[in-house]
């Protein structure tokens, strides 16, 4: 008697269209209702999906809202503008343009505020937004090394620390400028910021 090989069941595949509709509905609800009044049931209604469809994808509001915000930052690209300085200026302008959008602003401010009393939410923000967007630093550094603008790294641990530091400096400055100070980030500001980032306060390489 031949043995039968079990058939693998992976379940119903996720719909990218449904996911996009749910995440967009989440951002719309945040703008209109704010964090405290947002419910998964309301999001499902806005997205035109069953509650079970939403709950299969996101077990709670924290996960849903972080993903709704994170996908906006996935639009960021490290442009190739011919030099490291110009590349940084380009991504800074992209980043600022995303931050001032009402859906980004309301979503990001909401999850950051809530994360001050929720360690699990803070970890999800770090994994889904911060760590995911460090790809931009890695790509920009690799391209600058190929151009001969930056030396190759010899110490992997030091290289990882540098990536973290650069990301924190860029993200911190742009978020503060746009969301805390509510000041514009235009080409002149991006150029001045990049100059300080690359050359330091002295600007002449002296210690």
Q: What token pair was written down for 107?
A: 């979503």
Domain match, 137 and 92 both: yes
**Is residue 114 within 8 Å of residue 104, measured between CB atoms?**
no
Whether residue 4 has pLDDT greater than 90: no
126 pLDDT higher than 80: yes
Provide the token pair at 110.
């909401």
DSSP codes, 22-62: HHHHHHHHHHHH-TTT--HHHHHHHHT--HHHHHHH-SSHH
Q: Flag whether 118 is in a domain.
A: yes
Q: Quick one: pLDDT band at residue 203, thresholds 50, 70, 90?
A: low
Average confidence (pLDDT) over 81-88: 96
pLDDT tens digits, one per residue of 132-181: 999 999 999 999 999 999 999 899 999 999 999 999 999 999 999 999 99
- 74 and 51 in one domain? no
Q: Are 193 and 95 in contact (CB under 8 A)?
A: no
Q: By residue range, what is the domain housing residue 31?
A: 16-59
Among 15-24, 68-77, 84-93, which is the least confidently predicted range? 15-24
Q: What predicted TM-score, i.e. pTM, was given to this entire model?
A: 0.85
pLDDT-derived band at 93 (thresholds 50, 70, 90) equals: very high
On whether residue 3 sits in a domain, the answer given is no
Same domain, yes or no: 165 and 131: yes
**Cβ distance 84 to 150 under 8 Å?**
yes
- Look at residue 9 in the predicted model and tell me its pLDDT: 38
Q: What is the CATH number of the domain that holds 136?
A: 1.10.357.10
Same domain for 167 and 101, yes or no, is yes
- Non-local (6+) Cβ contacts of 125 within 8 A are 66, 111, 112, 115
- The CATH number of the domain holding residue 23 is 1.10.10.60
**Rounded distance between C-alpha atoms, residue 206 and residue 199, angstroms:** 10
């Amino acid at each position: 008697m031949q043995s039968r090989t079990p058939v693998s069941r992976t379940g119903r595949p996720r719909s990218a269209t449904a996911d996009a509709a749910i995440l967009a509905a989440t951002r719309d609800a945040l703008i209109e209702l704010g964090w405290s009044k947002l419910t998964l049931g309301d999001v499902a209604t806005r997205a035109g999906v069953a509650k079970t469809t939403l709950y299969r994808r996101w077990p709670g509001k924290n996960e849903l809202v972080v993903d709704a915000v994170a996908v906006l930052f996935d639009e960021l690209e490290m442009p190739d503008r011919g030099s490291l300085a110009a590349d940084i200026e380009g991504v800074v302008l992209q980043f600022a343009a995303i931050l001032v959008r009402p859906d980004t602003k309301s979503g990001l401010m909401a999850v950051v505020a809530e994360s001050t009393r929720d360690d699990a939410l803070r970890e999800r923000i770090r994994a889904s937004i911060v760590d995911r967007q460090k790809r931009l630093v890695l790509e920009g550094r690799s391209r600058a090394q190929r151009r001969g603008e930056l030396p190759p790294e010899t110490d992997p641990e030091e290289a990882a620390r540098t990536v973290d530091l650069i990301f924190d400096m860029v993200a911190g400055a742009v978020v503060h400028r746009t969301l805390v100070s509510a000041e514009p980030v235009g080409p002149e500001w991006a150029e001045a910021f990049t100059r300080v980032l690359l050359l330091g306060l002295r600007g002449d390489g002296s210690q």
